[in-house]
Homo-oligomer: A and B are copies of this chain.
């Protein structure tokens, strides 16, 4: 992962509401592409933010490739992109820990 990509991912996660969104989506994650994730309406209920605000944050996370949307009826279901998170963690371990963080490096990503 390039430094610029890392900065984008870190920026996306460096905000209370967005980190909460991401955590919710990770909790609701399914390895199967077509399952799991949460609709915007469900996130609004859980996080207590105005629709335009949530929409703004969802866009930020989407731009950072940390989540992705899929349409289902008139809902839009967002799903966590764990592969991107894994890339970020790998970057942090390789570039920002110099092997001194006592963590075993990840295997190659298999899930999008």
Contacts and interface: CB of A to CB of B under 8 A. Distances in A.
A98 interface: yes
Interface stretch (A18-26, A37-45, A49-57, A69-77): A18-26
Contact of A104 (B3, B15, B22, B104): B104
Interface in A1-55: 3-4, 6-7, 10-11, 13-16, 19-20, 22-23, 26-27, 29, 31
Contacts of A105: 103
A89 B104 contact: no
Interface residues of A, number: 42
Given A15-B7, A103-B105, A89 B82 contact: no
Interface in A48-100: 82, 85-86, 88-90, 92-93, 95-98, 100
Contact of A102 (B16, B27, B106): B106
Q: Which applies to chain A's interface (DSSP): helix, strand, loop or mixed?
A: helix
A82 B103 contact: no
Please indicate which of the listed interface residues A19, A86, A101 has the most CB atoms of chain B within 10 Å of its own CB.
A101
A100 B84 CA distance: 12
